Amino acid sequence: MSEAINIGSVDDIDEGEAKVISAAEAGTEDDIAVFHAEDGNFYALNDECTHETASLADGWIEGTEVECPVHSAKFCLKSGEAMCMPATIAARTHKVEVVDGDVLLYPNVPVAEQA
């Protein structure tokens, strides 16, 4: 398992907002968006819509889904599944944990489904 990156306190990302961790910082090929979903949990996906280049972190977060700001594709934050066309390919997930009030991101550790 890769090293966790402490991306800050849970209070740094408001519910319904996201923070982008750059590929350089995460040591990954793509930027990662860490979402604070409306269920109170944190989730991370590659910060790119699988339909066409667009930042998912700029998208509309509702419940545990994010809607791409460009063409309205929707992704499940828990599984990365493409919930709505035009996206038909899942977004890549990365494991996130909250430990002692800090949000820990595990780049390249996929998550089938978080609780």
Partner 1 sequence: MTSPQSVAIVGGGMGGFSTAHELRHRGYEGPITILDPFGAPYDRPPLSKDYFLQERSAEDIQLIKSEWYAEHNVTVLAEKVVSIHPNEGVVVTEADTKVPGEVIVLATGGVARKLHIPGNDLDTVLQLRTKEDADKLREAIAGGKRLTIIGAGLIGAEVASSALKHGASVTLIDPSETPLVPAVGETLAKRLHAMHTEKGVTVVRGIPTEIFVDQDGTNVRTEDGETYAGDVVLVGIGIIPLTDLAEDAGLEEDNGTLVDEAQRTTHPNVYAVGDSSRTRLRDGTLLRRAEHWEHAMNTGKTAAAAILGQDLPVHSAPWFWSDRHGVHVEGVGAMWTEHGETVIREVDGVPVAAFRLNENGELVGCAAIDDALAVRAARRIIDRKITVDPAQLADPTFNLKKLAK
Q: Among 71, 81, 102, 109, indicate the residue that binds partner 1 (CB under 8 A).
A: 71
Q: Backbone phi, then psi, for 68, in 5-degree steps?
A: -60, 135
Minimum distance from residue 104 beta carbon to partner 1 (Å): 28
Separation between Cα atoms, residue 74 and residue 59, nearest integer Å: 9
Establish whether the linkage from the previous residue to 69 is cis, with ω within 30° of 0.
no
Minimum distance from residue 16 beta carbon to partner 1 (Å): 7
Token code pair at residue 9: 């306190």
CB of 53 or CB of 99, closer to partner 1? 53
Residues that bind partner 1 (CB under 8 A): 16, 52, 58, 60, 67, 69-72, 85-86, 88-89
